[in-house]
Chains A and B, each alone.
Chain A
């Protein structure tokens, strides 16, 4: 065994000494690799008689160390090719960049803007009672006004089919068609001055196309105090729109009808050379104030409902509302 090891050593050291540094890898594998002769011999040492084992083991390890050292010396003689090959024009690698959904981005931006004007954030459930979603907002059953809100109703089932309403009638459950029921919920719990926004998911029972989604996002606004006027509504809306869409954007109010506001207006914006309809707003209807336990002879207020999808589409020039819920990562990575 000792002879074999010594012979191996002699052969190896002379070959390494005269070798071309370019052949480093080949030699390293040949003499130190897993399938090298040395490895093979070292493996056999374990089977030797005890007295030979120690000597052979020591010799084997010495040879292994020596070879490693010589090979390292050989390696160092290799030209430093890497430095010369560095190509500064190599494309960059992009570490993963997380992204908030564009609707989250718009919502966050709006919340921040309204917060700056002192608006609190309120929330309410996405499944609502017919009472909160319609009746208390001055939209009685069978009234033509209801036609504007195509509704997803919940199936009646044991345990949760009805909810007793104020007048003792049963109120059916539905997916809220707008964020306006939050107005009712908040008014019942708080006294004026009230200054809130309520962003959230809303639902319409309608077929989807590039401009309609059965699931969309709204931001409700409600401000109630003594002496609140249309002039105040105008200023707040104009400020927010300019802040989010650009200071060059103009706004105007034109007459409209919503059962829960009186007077009611549509807000049009002058955006990229056209007047576009942006959102509905108006002075809170006295009946709605009363339904929220607020005295309309003492307080007045305004409310508005801004489409978060719509404003996001306008802002970024998105032409298909369905992209928002598509889970298309290429789309989401644009924002």
Chain B
């Protein structure tokens, strides 16, 4: 919400600059989202001249570089009284000079100029017109000129309204907060005197509230003989600073009081109500309302409306109707100051897709006692603006039983300090609470606080502690490390295993990537009710499809992702598990993909896994105890691997066990075979292992077929495969005879079982 610095200044004894005030609010009250300057000196700032150079195309002009606070502008200047280091007034792009000229970026004789250095005369002041106005050298570049000249013009502070403090949307509350921090006394300068002119309001207006849940309070007055016209400048200026468009004095006064006190106010043209009845009720099916914004709104039985005897006049708390608004022709008005239920307003506002200043306030939840004050204030203000008007005596006030205006809360100051970790003196606490409209008295070492009804956020000691510390200053709290029992930190096994896998893959040269967890869904996928796009309607059930679609723009890469995947569960929340996906593109990608999984599992100490062929799939599955742990698939130059990390966890060994180094030397031999294409290499390897217990290692080191160029001939339908075979005995040194014996068995076995012909070279 936007607050006018000038209005706050008129309410308070404020010696702070807009920036200083902003800092105070930021550190003690709420976030300041921006400070902007509005009014006469918007876009005029103090600049420091950094450099002056002659203009290449014009003798009388100079090129300057001017620091305007965080930005350096190039500005062409005609005056010659300036020097480097001077502070001068700068009209930046968008500034409007008092003579009406708007400053725009321009090229002057071939040089870009992004602003203007100003003389006294150009600023509309009496004084020298020939030279640039030179400012006090202590001024900081970027400071608003309004601050320097001490002249009108306004700064607007846009504040974040915290969800627990709906009352912050008023000058009254903000001013109270500021004076609390400044330790100043505060009385809102709000005149609420009302002079009634006679008559009886009940003769003019009957209000019936049919839904007191949605409308807990409805207050109204009738004023006759108003003179509708433009509102005064001071009021328009505040409205503009707050982002509201001036309309006429009646509507503007309503908005002005809304800003002052926080309660939205609606005004009706009395004569357009057509009758004496106002009914607050839910709309009937088929009813509609042409809003003040020109839109025709369709209403339903959840839409609270303000109606006359026949039809809706306004959507309660959100927007008035075109047909009943105050215009220049209006003579009598009804002022409505009501309290509407936040949920009802929120739902209707959402359904209509319409958020107004009024709805934005009501949906935060407003003080049920506030309409009393607001009605007095608006009546007073209209009397001031329309001195000839006639306020009908009496007011309408429809409500159920009101809650107590205040409730007592007893808290212990010790408890407050125990939560804060400092010693705030008790009298300091009392002072802060009293200034915050939380009157506190000390009895029996306890604080008894009269919490006003509107402070719904205050329930107990923690809430009071917050009030104390934000005013007292968080910088007063020392930083003290907690003293706690020593305990060994625990990390879930799945986290440890995932981290080990990531580290291992990185050691193997893979790059980790993160992707969005959404896709278009497969069977069993969990679907979003409100996806952001049609490409991301479901949660991923597996990672490889997404990974396979990424374009890396490289000929070779090794990447992986380890993340959560989701599947429907019969009971409760979806099943979530950690999955690893690897994508490799390079020479021998498939073999590398398989090797990565083998090495990974070996490093993690997982044993008992078996690779199985799957019919119809160009790849393998890795199985452990009937569970599919991993799938490896070949895609031309690429391989893709998926690994179920969740299922792996219980098989991972944390510690590696020492395998005694061999005592006797190894005997190595290489054997090459021509084999028919259909023979699986895995079968050969298995059979080589099987020939003799002396076999200690079998490694494929060469493979090619007839289509591989540059290799010696191999018949078509054949492959040439070559193995390093190592023999070792734990009991003795092997001899040449051992080697020949085993070689013979290997040769015979493979010939017999696989028609593998030894390549004798």
Contacts and interface: CB of A to CB of B under 8 A. Distances in A.
Q: Do A and B come from one complex?
A: yes
Interface of A: 95-101, 103-104, 108, 111, 114-115, 118-123, 125-129, 142-145, 147-148, 152-157, 159-160, 163, 173, 175, 193, 195, 201, 205, 207, 214-215, 223, 225, 227-232, 234-236, 238-239, 252-257, 259, 262-266, 283, 285-286, 300, 324-325, 327, 329, 332-333
Contact of B466 (A160, A205, A255): A255
Interface string B504-521: 011111111111110000
Nearest to A301: B482
Nearest to B478: A231
B69 to A, nearest CB: 13
B492 A160 contact: no
Interface in B521-543: 526-532, 539
B582 to A, nearest CB: 11
B511 A231 contact: no
Nearest to B363: A144
A147 B495 contact: no
Contacts of B478: 231, 234
A234 B569 contact: no
B108 interface: no
B480 A232 contact: yes
B647 interface: no
Interface in B480-501: 480-482, 484-487, 489-492, 494-495, 499
A142 B350 CA distance: 12
B285 interface: no
B576 A126 contact: yes
A201 B561 CA distance: 14
A50 B465 CA distance: 112
B149 to A, nearest CB: 28
Nearest to A324: B514
Contacts of A327: 513-515, 550, 552, 559
Interface in B407-422: 418-422
Given A127-B539, A144-B166, A235 B481 contact: yes
Contacts of A259: 163-164
A329 B528 CA distance: 29
A152 B528 contact: yes
A96 B163 CA distance: 52
B502 interface: yes
List the 5 shortest-distance A-B pairs measured between CB atoms, nearest first.
A231-B421, A229-B421, A263-B466, A98-B506, A96-B509
Contacts of B532: 205, 207, 214
30 contacts: A97-B509, A98-B510, A98-B512, A99-B506, A101-B512, A101-B514, A104-B512, A115-B491, A126-B517, A142-B343, A144-B365, A154-B528, A154-B529, A193-B485, A207-B532, A215-B517, A229-B421, A230-B420, A230-B469, A239-B481, A253-B474, A255-B28, A255-B30, A255-B474, A262-B462, A263-B469, A327-B552, A329-B552, A329-B553, A329-B554
A98 B486 CA distance: 37
B470 interface: yes
A215 B463 CA distance: 33
A123 to B, nearest CB: 6
B177 to A, nearest CB: 10
Contact of A120 (B491, B527, B571): B491
A236 to B, nearest CB: 7
A332 B513 contact: yes
A332 B559 CA distance: 11
A257 B164 contact: yes
Contact of A283 (B347, B462, B484, B503): B462
Central interface residue in B487, B515, B554, B572, by most chain A CB within 10 Å: B572
B487 A195 contact: yes
Contacts of A232: 421, 480-482
B295 interface: no
Contacts of B484: 118, 193, 195, 223, 225
B277 interface: no
Given A99-B512, A234-B479, A252-B475, A229 B568 contact: no
A120 B489 contact: yes
Contacts of B489: 114-115, 118-121, 195
A98 B508 contact: yes
Interface in B124-159: none
Contacts of A118: 484, 486-487, 489
A259 B165 CA distance: 12
Interface string B572-613: 111010000000000000000000000000000000000000
Contacts of B390: none
A192 to B, nearest CB: 10
Interface in B440-496: 460, 462-463, 465-466, 469-470, 474-475, 477-482, 484-487, 489-492, 494-495
B460 A286 contact: yes
B704 interface: no
B238 to A, nearest CB: 26
B29 interface: yes
B590 to A, nearest CB: 18
B434 interface: no
A36 to B, nearest CB: 15
B87 interface: no
Contact of A300 (B343, B419, B512): B419
B31 interface: yes
A215 B519 CA distance: 13
Contact of A153 (B363, B528, B550): B528
Contacts of A163: 572-573
Contact of A101 (B162, B485, B513, B572): B513
Given A123-B492, A175-B528, A215-B517, 18 more contacts: A100-B503, A120-B489, A126-B564, A127-B573, A144-B365, A155-B529, A160-B571, A160-B572, A214-B516, A225-B482, A225-B484, A229-B419, A229-B480, A231-B422, A231-B478, A255-B470, A327-B550, A332-B512
Given A144-B363, A329-B557, A120 B420 contact: no
A201 B517 contact: yes
A263 B486 contact: no
B470 A263 contact: yes
Contacts of A235: 479-482
Nearest to A145: B163
Interface string B385-428: 00000000000000000000000000000000011111000000
A173 B575 CA distance: 13
Central interface residue in B347, B419, B465, B502, by most chain A CB within 10 Å: B419
Given A255-B28, A332-B513, A125 B576 contact: yes
Given A101-B513, A101-B514, A238-B479, A155 B528 contact: yes
B490 A120 contact: yes
Contact of B530 (A103, A120, A153): A153
A129 B571 CA distance: 13
A144 B573 contact: no
A159 B575 CA distance: 12
A195 to B, nearest CB: 7
Interface in B15-46: 26-31
Nearest to A144: B163
B570 interface: yes
A235 B529 CA distance: 42
A329 B365 contact: no
A159 B516 CA distance: 25
Contacts of A121: 489-492, 495
B558 interface: yes
Contacts of B465: 262-263, 283
B346 interface: yes
B342 interface: yes
B281 interface: no
A257 B165 contact: yes
Contacts of A128: 573
Contacts of B65: none
Nearest to A105: B512
Contacts of B475: 252
Given A153-B530, A257-B162, A325 B515 contact: yes
